[in-house]
Amino acid sequence: MKIGMSLGISPREPITHAVEVVKSAEDLGFDAAYITDVQLSMKDCFAALTLCAVNTSKIKLGTGVTNPI
């Protein structure tokens, strides 16, 4: 069984917090991590995913996208 997690980045916390959470998830054996892409209320998911990609090696990364329809 594969297990993933999702994470949103509050404007009040640094993007590096997402990196710490995703690295911990990878160390715990999670298969995937998704960072939410929410308009106007969260920090940029693509910058966070880039930092996560540089700092992890096995975990799959993706966006959690909001469909406005």
Rounded to two decimals, the pTM is 0.85
Per-residue pLDDT averaged across 18-46, rounded? Answer: 91
Q: What is the DSSP letter of 10?
A: -
Q: Other CB atoms closer than 10 Å to residue 17's CB: what's the count?
A: 15
Q: Does residue 63 register a pLDDT over 80?
A: yes
Domain definitions of the chain by residue range:
4-65
Q: Does residue 28 register a pLDDT over 80?
A: yes
- The separation between CA 36 and the C-alpha centre of its own chain, rounded to angstroms, equals 7
In contact, 56 and 24? CB cutoff 8 Å: no
